[in-house]
Structure 1
Amino acid sequence: MPSVAVHTAVAPLPPGTALAIGAFDGLHLGHQALVEQARRKGTAAGLLTFDPHPAEILAPERAPPRLATAGQRIRLLERFGVAHLVLLPFDRTLAALTPEAFVERVLLDGLRPRAVIVGASFRFGRGRSGGPKDLSRLCARGDVEVVVVDEVPPPPECGGGFLSSTEIRRRLAAGDVAGAACLLGRPHAVEGVVERGAGRGRALGVPTANVGSIENVLPAPGIYAGALAVLAPERVGPMPAAISLGRNPTFTDPGAPLVLEVHVLDRDLDLYGARVEVSFVERLRDELAFDDVAALLRRIEDDVARTRRIVTPSVLANVLAP
């Protein structure tokens, strides 16, 4: 699979590059439609986005948690056939540029794409004052084609609503990981590092990896069927896994911190210190407090059996893997 060239400076891209522009948080199905247009319009497809997310600078108190980490975004772009990723450092100086100055400095004199692809709701320039029509008018000065992609509706099987990063976050917050996956085109996944826990899972015969230092948004607490992949120090997986995101109410007080514990099916791996990715495929149930360990183990056995039925090889083939 070809690698993505990452650019952090505004400099000419290879001739013929078509450039999709946007925030691209999560790279959901709507974003993928823009990427597909870039692949069609250019000899190479590029993506221009901003780092950090503009909301983190302009309204940090309202900035949403990210759906995808930087590493996940790179791997997704490789999957989608994108050759160039332009990470434009976003600060108040960039935010203050007028639409005219943005197009002239960043696009016409800077990156020099063959074509630019944006969504119908795209806004740019100081105070979000520019839109697709302004972009088309300004890019015409440099003979750069602008393609505006209409809003992509969610697939019928996704249960209505809107196809947006906000809607995906809403579904995750409700524990609807299957609904979020429908809009993403893949199961939602988080990255983190395996830390030492209390060791209860191993003592009960169900070893788990406690995952901390998580960089992107988690779903609602609960028990899930999913997968675990090892990203570093060496890449392994993905592997079917039963996932617990909660506070271990059978053993701890209600105010205990939230813990992500992952039991990889049929494997007993030494993962301490490893960087891993946990994919959420389907919600199994709420987290429960059990009267005794025997009742807990019976329910875990059922969770594992259901996970085995749900996370098939075809499901694993669609998760965001190393």
Structure 2
Amino acid sequence: MFWEVPIKPEKQMKIIKSLEDFPKDIPVSICIGNFDGIHLGHVDIINNCKKNEAVSTIVTFDCHPREILHPGLLPGKLTLKNEKYSFSNAVGVDMVLELPFSEFCSVEALNFLDILNSHMNIQEITVGFNFYFGKDQKGTSDILYWWGRSSGVKINVLSPTVKNGLRISSTAIRELIISGQIEAALSFMAFPFVLSGKIVKGRQLGKKMNFPTLNIKPPQKITPPDGVYITQTVIDNMQLQTLTNIGRNPTVDDDSFSRKIETWVVDQSLDDLYGKHAAVYFFKKIRNEIKFSSREKLYEKVLEDKILFYEFWNSRKTSVLPNTF
């Protein structure tokens, strides 16, 4: 998996947001899709794009199609846009073409391909087995193959990526994350699930108990259930081993109805980080959030959490994970 090795992209991925701005003279190998989560199936598609000497390019939209077509059926996001693009850069994608979905949602499938081809020097197109495109999603792999033969573009439709007998998909990963099965989800993902955002000031309650936390606002995406997690947090160039609590702090804040994401950089003292951005990567859930009878009982439990934290990290090296900002 990519997160098990240092990530040092040789060059920065270029993001283009208009077909008119796309360099027509550059031969490209494109993959088309939403790519939420950048899981191992997505990586297989991206790697296929990188096989030849053409420039690997993701073609995607500025929003999930359901945001406009079926907002009531919109699935929770696995990755925010900045996270998705950071991961795409880390796996070696050369360019991303981000198109405004509102301008293309009524375009018929063959017209959509013709529009792309008139603005891009397309050598190959790679998609997943369940790829549909164009108005009302009437574009199928058969239509794509037919268009490729008539246009001189090689078409690759990849079979599902399977691991441990299970087909990898964003839907399956989403369900695992929501149910707290972080390690199971991790086995399907190119990078651990991440929550990222700006560090904000909390109530300083952890600091008073000798485990000061970094607080980020819950982002507009799915989150794991309330509980305590072993995490790794990236701030600027720092890769920090951390414990993260998601929940409402029932022991110290009876009146709180809002969920919080609080990350403790265990046994380290850091300078003021308010206003900086943090990316918190989740590796393992160690317990549910508990309402203790006293702060002393909470403190005792945190010391037990700390033992599990060190057992986990003593068995592995710290990965080098992308800064998502």
Q: Same fold (TM over 0.5)?
A: yes
Following superposition of structure 1 onto structure 2, how do residues 175-194 of structure 1 map, counting pairs within 5 Å?
175-194=180-199
Q: Greater relative contact order: 1 or 2 (C-alpha under 8 angstroms, separation 6 or more)?
A: 2
Deviations 1:262-301 (CA, angstroms, capped at 9, x unpaired): 0012222222111111111100000011112221111101
Q: What CA distance in whole angstroms lies between the structure 1 residues aligned with 2:250 and 2:110? A: 57
TM alignment of 1:201-240, pairs within 5 A: 201-212=206-217, 214-230=219-235, 235-240=236-241
CA distance in 2, matches of 1:79, 1:40: 17
Native 8 Å contact 2:43 2:190 kept in 1: no
Pairwise CA distance, 1:145: 0.7
Aligned counterparts of 2:159 and 2:25: Cα–Cα separation in 1: 27
SS where residue 85 of structure 1 aligns? strand
Is residue 28–residue 120 contact of structure 2 (8 Å, CA) maintained in 1?
A: no
Aligned pair 1:140/2:139, yes or no?
A: no
Q: What is the distance in 2 between the residues matched to 1:251 and 1:96?
A: 52
Aligned to 1:151: 160
Question: What amino acid is the match of 1:29?
Answer: L
Partners of 2:34 and 2:60 within 8 A in 1: yes
1:12 offset after TM fit, Å? 4.3
Q: Helix, strand or coil for the counterpart of 1:311?
A: helix
Relative distance call for 1:128 and 1:192 in structure 2 (3 A) is same
Specify which of 277, 280, 291 is matched with residue 279 of structure 2.
Answer: 277
The residue type paired with residue 309 of structure 1 is E
Change (3 A) 1:312 1:211: farther
Structure-2 residue corresponding to 1:261: 262
Output the TM-score relative to the length of structure 2.
0.91
Using the TM superposition, give the Cα deviation of residue 186 of structure 1 relative to its aligned residue in structure 2, in angstroms: 2.5
1:169 match: 174
Match of 2:5 in 1: none
Summarize deviations over 1:89-123 as a string: whole Å, max 9, x none.
111x41111111111112x2122311000111100
CA distance in 1, matches of 2:172, 2:148: 32
Pick from 77, 87, 92: which aligns with 1:81?
A: 92
In the TM superposition, residue 13 of structure 1 has moved relative to its aligned partner by 4.5
**What TM-score does the superposition give when structure 1 sets the normalisation length?**
0.92
Following superposition of structure 1 onto structure 2, how do residues 37-186 of structure 1 map, counting pairs within 5 Å? 37-91=48-102, 93-106=103-116, 108-153=117-162, 155-156=163-164, 161-186=166-191
Q: Which runs of 5+ in 1 are unaligned?
A: none
Q: CA deviation at 1:315?
A: 5.2
Shift of 1:308: 2.0
Deviation for aligned residue 1:136: 1.4
What's the CA shift string for 1:18-41, capped at 9, x where partnerless?
A: 101111011100000000000013
Q: Cα deviation per residue 1:238-279 (whole Å; 9 max; x = unaligned)?
A: 211011001111122376211111001222222211111111
For the Cα contact (< 8 Å) 1:281–1:311, is it kept in 2? no
Cα offset for 1:9?
Answer: 1.2
SS of 2:258's equivalent in the other structure is coil
Query: Does structure 1 conserve the Cα–Cα contact (< 8 Å) formed by 2:125 and 2:153?
Result: yes
Mapped pair 1:306 → 2:308: yes
Q: Who is 1:317 aligned against? A: 319
* CA deviation profile, 1:103-160 (whole Å, cap 9, x unmatched): 1112x2122311000111100111111111101111222211111111111x22xxx5
Deviation at 1:77, TM superposition (A): 1.7
Q: Percent identity?
A: 24
1:321, CA displacement in angstroms?
4.1
Task: State the shift of 1:313 in Å.
Answer: 8.3
Equivalent residue of 2:252, what SS?
Answer: coil
- Equivalent pairs, count: 312
Q: Secondary structure at the match of 2:184?
A: helix
> What SS does the aligned partner of 1:266 have?
coil
Q: Which amino acid letter does the alignment assign opposite residue 145 of structure 2?
A: S
